[in-house]
């Protein structure tokens, strides 16, 4: 029974579907997204279907970063711990710790970027130098910002992350130590707190600006792609209209030829009818002449015998 089927229908796993989508090749993303949305709708989960249809196709850099997180959980965990330690050292102005940790930073970012490129190549996409740079910038953002780290670790990025534009822990670690100011009651801590608060606002503003700029670039690329598709469709429509016009012209010519043929056929029928009537008249006349000749012949023989 239909009611029984709904009662025993297994629930749709939205989280697994989303996880699958963000590691699906960008070229197959839209088709797979629409298929999963149809499955969710068929399972009776309209909310999941709407959520899936609203997901955006990831860029190559974001997709490669998602692959890396899924494929290398141990390395990801260690990288996240490195980011936490770097951010703590930066907050505490622990220059010794920053120097020690930043020595690992460049080497690990290079290794993880190469691993992401290898995973992407295995999945059929070779990463250009520009895309590899976006992957590396995403990793730098993970080290510098806890929110970026959380987004990266979820493996659901749709665009690459951008590191903060202020001095990063690695750069700060390379600066020579500066002499500490002489402590004064209350003022240094308040000043430091104000600077940190201001820096956080600047960092957030830069992140939002970079995120908006990346969104604009992504939408522009999508718009350009849509414009190309529209141009191709317009050209195909133009060619189709030309074929329709040519076919209509041929049809009109064929109809005209058919009308001419019908007219000639009717004329031929009329001529044949006239010929048939003339033949019938001639045959009648011939028959009459033959009978007249026969009578004359018989009468001649009668006179000769008399």
**Residue 284 maps to a domain:** no
Average pLDDT, whole number, for the chain?
A: 78
The total domain count for the chain is: 2
- Statement to judge: residues 40 and 138 lie in one domain: no
pLDDT of residue 245: 73
Quote the domain boundaries for residue 170: 58-177
pLDDT at 174 > cutoff 70: no
- Statement to judge: residues 165 and 111 lie in one domain: yes
pLDDT at 18 > cutoff 80: yes
- Statement to judge: residues 16 and 120 lie in one domain: no
Rounded Cα gap, residues 5 and 187, in angstroms: 71
pLDDT at 169 > cutoff 80: no
**Residue 214 maps to a domain:** no
Sort residue 13 into left (φ over 0), alpha (ψ -120 to 50) or beta: beta
**Residue 246 maps to a domain:** no
Single residue among 177, 207, 223 that ends a domain in this structure = 177
pLDDT at 186 > cutoff 50: no
- Statement to judge: residues 141 and 94 lie in one domain: yes
**Residue 207 maps to a domain:** no
Least confident of 70-84, 138-152, 206-220: 206-220
**pTM as predicted:** 0.52
- Statement to judge: residues 100 and 125 lie in one domain: yes
**Residue 134 maps to a domain:** yes
Single residue among 110, 143, 177 that ends a domain in this structure = 177
pLDDT of residue 95: 74
CA end-to-end span of the chain: 117
Percent share of the chain, pLDDT over 90: 40
- Statement to judge: residues 39 and 97 lie in one domain: no
Return the DSSP state at 1.
Answer: -
**Residue 301 maps to a domain:** no
**Residue 39 maps to a domain:** yes
DSSP string, 228-260: HHHHHHHHHHHHHHHHHHHHHHHHHHHHHHHHH
Tens-digit pLDDT profile for residues 107-144? 899 999 999 999 999 999 999 999 999 999 999 999 98
Tens-digit pLDDT profile for residues 69-111? 999 999 999 999 988 888 887 777 767 766 767 667 888 999 9
Maximum mean pLDDT: which of 7-21, 46-60, 164-178, 283-297: 46-60
- Statement to judge: residues 47 and 84 lie in one domain: no
- Statement to judge: residues 36 and 65 lie in one domain: no
Assess contact for 160 and 135: CB atoms under 8 A. Answer: yes
- Statement to judge: residues 73 and 169 lie in one domain: yes
- Statement to judge: residues 93 and 36 lie in one domain: no
Confidence of residue 175 (pLDDT cuts 50, 70, 90): very low
Distances (CA, A) of 270 to 262, 276, 286: 12, 10, 24
Within 10 angstroms of residue 262's Cβ, the number of other Cβ atoms is 10
pLDDT of residue 91: 78
**Residue 34 maps to a domain:** yes
């Amino acid at each position: 029974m239909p009611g029984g089927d709904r009662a025993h229908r297994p629930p749709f796993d939205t989280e697994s579907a989303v996880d699958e989508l963000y590691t699906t090749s960008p070229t197959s993303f839209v088709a797979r997204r629409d298929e999963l949305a149809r499955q969710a709708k068929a399972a009776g989960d309209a909310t999941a279907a709407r959520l899936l249809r609203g997901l955006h196709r990831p860029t190559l850099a974001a997709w490669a970063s998602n692959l890396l997180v899924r494929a290398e959980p141990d390395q990801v965990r260690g990288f996240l711990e490195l980011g936490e330690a770097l951010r703590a050292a930066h907050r505490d102005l622990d220059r010794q710790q920053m120097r020690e940790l930043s020595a690992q930073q460049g080497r690990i970012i290079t290794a993880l970027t190469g691993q992401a490129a290898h995973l992407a190549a295995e999945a059929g996409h070779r990463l250009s130098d520009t895309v590899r740079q976006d992957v590396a910038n995403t990793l730098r953002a993970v080290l510098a910002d806890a929110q970026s780290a959380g987004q990266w670790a979820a493996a659901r990025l749709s665009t690459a992350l951008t590191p903060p534009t202020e001095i990063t822990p690695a750069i700060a670690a390379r600066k020579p130590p500066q002499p500490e100011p002489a402590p004064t009651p209350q003022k240094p801590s308040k000043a430091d707190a104000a600077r940190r608060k201001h820096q956080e606002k600047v960092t957030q503003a830069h992140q939002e600006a970079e995120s908006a700029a990346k969104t604009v670039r992504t939408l522009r690329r999508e718009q350009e792609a849509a414009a190309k598709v529209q141009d191709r469709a317009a050209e195909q429509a133009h060619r189709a209209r030309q074929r329709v016009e040519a076919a209509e012209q041929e049809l009109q010519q064929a109809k005209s030829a058919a009308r001419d043929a019908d007219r000639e056929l009717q004329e031929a029928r009329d001529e044949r009818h006239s010929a048939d009537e003339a033949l019938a008249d001639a045959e009648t006349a011939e028959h009459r002449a033959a009978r007249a000749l026969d009578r004359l012949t018989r009468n001649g023989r009668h006179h000769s015998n008399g």
